[in-house]
Amino acid sequence: MKKKLIAGNWKMNGSLAANEALLKALLAGVGQPACQVAVCVPAVYLAQCQALLAGGVIELGAQDVSAHESGAYTGEIAPAMLKEFGARYVIVGHSERRQYHGETDELVAAKAQRALSAGITPIVCVGETLAEREAGHTEEVVKRQLAAVIHTNGHCISEVVVAYEPVWAIGTGLSATAEQAQQVHAVLRAQLKAASPNADRIPLLYGGSMNAANAKSLLAQADIDGGLIGGAALKAPDFLTIIAAAS
């Protein structure tokens, strides 16, 4: 059985002192987990977190990356730069970036491609809004978002991680039920299978108010291979409980 992946998305939270306290608590409590564990931190803290996590079982990730290799793109961060600071993963296409920064399906696909070419695994986020769900468009939306990434990345698609994050469940405390999540994951798995013979090994994460209480039932679903966790990843006991639920 493939190992599950539990990844924290710290979003725009943290400080030198808070990061150190959180990572020390995680390292002290994590032991030898049977799942993979990562934290996706604000880029300015990559060096600090790289040093704190060195030699341990928790891997490092970033939250966004440029679609360009280098050059005159003020404020952007190249994948090779993330790689230098130990990033194994980078989140691309989070709904907060689609919503607040106007990121399109095509841009998200280009970012995933650029990350892959630098040897970083993109965690590609897809998910519908509440209005889209209520209109019965959930499948159509997530398939469109994933199709762009499949189209751009071709056979490399088996190297990505996909996260289903229903927008209405993010930061609301209102998680999708295990059945709702599994239903969408099955759709994504079928779409990936049609694109790649290696689709079974692509980790499909669920994100959206995953917490210490609901992680076990979500992670028990056939096509849920892990979690992308926001708020609960900032509290060491909660994140450790989720890691234990995946182990």
Instruction: Give the residues lining the site for ligand 13P (CB under 6 A).
Output: 9, 94, 165, 170-171, 207-210, 228-232
**Interacting residues of 77 by C-beta distance below 8 A, sequence separation 6+:** 43, 62, 64, 65, 66
CA distance 157 to 65: 18
| Dihedral sign computed on CA atoms, order 83, 85, 90, 94 | negative
Say how far residue 219 (Cα) sits from the centre of its chain: 15
Would you put residue 136 in left (φ > 0), alpha (ψ -120 to 50) or beta? Answer: left
Of 96, 103, 128, 165, which one is the catalytic site residue?
Answer: 165
CA distance 88 to 213: 28
Considering beta carbons, is residue 82 or 229 the nearer one to ligand 13P? 229
Place of tokens 């990356």: 65
Active site annotation includes 165: yes
Quote the least distance from Cβ 62 to ligand 13P, whole Å: 13
Considering beta carbons, is residue 19 or 196 the nearer one to ligand 13P? 19
Quote the least distance from Cβ 32 to ligand 13P, whole Å: 25
Considering beta carbons, is residue 33 or 207 the nearer one to ligand 13P? 207
Quote the least distance from Cβ 89 to ligand 13P, whole Å: 12
Active site annotation includes 155: no
Considering beta carbons, is residue 58 or 195 the nearer one to ligand 13P? 58
Of 94, 96, 128, 185, which one is the catalytic site residue?
Answer: 94
CA distance 144 to 229: 24
Quote the least distance from Cβ 93 to ligand 13P, whole Å: 11
Contact between residue 120 and residue 156 where contact means Cβ atoms under 8 Å apart:
no
The residues annotated as belonging to the active site are 94, 165
